[in-house]
Amino acid sequence: MANNQQISINDLSFTYRHDSNAVLHHISATAPLNSIIGIIGNHHAGKTTLCRILAGIIPNMMAGDLSGDVQLGPLSPTQNWPALNQQTGFVLQDPASQLSGLADTVADEIAFDLLNHGVANTEIQHRVTEVARQLQLTGQLQRSPNSLSGGQLQRLAIATAIVTKPAILILDDPTSEMDPQGRTEFFNWLTIIEKTTILIVSNEIDDLCEIADRLWLLVDGELVNQGTPLEVINQLKPDWQIGTPQVYQLARSMNWSLGTDLFPVNVNQLRGCLHDRHST
């Protein structure tokens, strides 16, 4: 695959300034553009740091010792950050920290970046309305951002990130404050976004395995596995302390394999497995 058609990370290491221990160690990974990449790992695995590097926040806004190479298609976060920044939406772990703090209403907050980029008012209104509809914020458009619940605040942060129509969307644990229904709706929504590369950190392993094309698994700052959810989940080691999907747990307990010594990790795979068992 041509480099301008994929995400490519080569021998990436990073240590924060004034810290003696590296957070990331010699990471190398690839994934196609316009795919959904789930980033999973244990506590202090380096997931947030990796997101910051992919978004260009490191080293352009946060300093440290960075080595290796990162390419998102034809652009590099270190060499082409202004151009990459124009094409990237980044949702932080703390959604309130990425809001402007200058908007009186949710609608104004969503429109903030569009106004700064000189987008026409009619287009701004259209985009704000559409993004609010997608993220179930239509009823909150005239409310103050300070009045929102935790889950609504996370959806607002996501709305501000996608209203500019980024080609790359980086999401760092974006559903931690959402209720189960809101979380399910959000993950389903991710699957219908077109022409967007999505990198998402999440502990919701069941949801990730339903939507992700690939998983990158970090353990203590090292990339220990990458591949499809089916491959990665079936190759987990106990000492990595990574949770498994309920589908996988059920299939394994019932010995319902896919015929290749791999147990299903999402609902469609489980249905296919059961269909094959009943037809034989």
Please give the Cα distance from 88 to 93 (Å, whole number): 16
For residues 186-200, average pLDDT: 93
Residue 274 — very low, low, confident or very high, per pLDDT cuts 50/70/90?
confident
Does 276 fall in a domain?
no
Does 76 fall in a domain?
yes
Specify the pLDDT at position 278: 65
In terms of Cβ atoms closer than 10 Å to its own Cβ (0-12, 13-18, 19+), residue 122 is: exposed
- 129 contacts: CB under 8 Å, gap ≥ 6: 138
Please give the Cα distance from 2 to 204 (Å, whole number): 32
Please give the Cα distance from 119 to 241 (Å, whole number): 47
Specify the pLDDT at position 280: 57
Q: Quickly count: other Cβ atoms within 10 Å of residue 25's Cβ.
A: 17
For residues 93-115, average pLDDT: 93
Does 249 fall in a domain?
no
Please give the share of the chain, as a percent, with pLDDT higher than 70. Answer: 98
Does 258 fall in a domain?
no
222: alpha, beta or left? (left if phi > 0; alpha if psi -120 to 50):
beta
Please report how the helices 121-134 and 106-116 are oriented relative to each other, as an axis angle in degrees rounded to 10. Answer: 130
Residue 2 — very low, low, confident or very high, per pLDDT cuts 50/70/90?
very low
Strand order in the sheet with 36-41: 88-91, 168-172, 197-201, 36-41, 214-219, 222-227
For residues 103-110, average pLDDT: 96
Specify the pLDDT at position 194: 85
Does 218 fall in a domain?
yes
For residues 240-249, average pLDDT: 96
CATH number for the domain harbouring residue 188: 3.40.50.300
* SS3 category, 108: helix
For residues 170-195, average pLDDT: 92
Does 271 fall in a domain?
no
Please give the Cα distance from 148 to 66 (Å, whole number): 38
List C-alpha distances in Å: 192 to 76, 128, 179, 197, 251. Answer: 27, 18, 21, 12, 28
Does 250 fall in a domain?
no
List C-alpha distances in Å: 67 to 9, 13, 35, 223. Answer: 11, 5, 26, 15
Please give the Cα distance from 25 to 239 (Å, whole number): 19
Among 91-100, 106-115, 195-204, 271-280, the least confident range:
271-280
Higher pLDDT, 278 or 62: 62
For residue range 65-81, what is the model confidence (pLDDT) as tens digits? 999 999 999 999 989 99
Residue 279 — very low, low, confident or very high, per pLDDT cuts 50/70/90?
low
Specify the pLDDT at position 275: 74
Give residue for tokens 């609010």. 132
List C-alpha distances in Å: 234 to 226, 246, 265. Answer: 12, 13, 8
Does 272 fall in a domain?
no
Q: How much is the mean pLDDT over the chain?
A: 93
Residue 1 — very low, low, confident or very high, per pLDDT cuts 50/70/90?
very low
Specify the pLDDT at position 259: 77
Task: State how many domains the chain has.
Answer: 1
Closest residue by Cα to residue 131 from 94, 98, 169, 165: 165
Strand order in the sheet with 64-72: 24-32, 6-16, 64-72
Domain span at residue 51 reads: 3-244
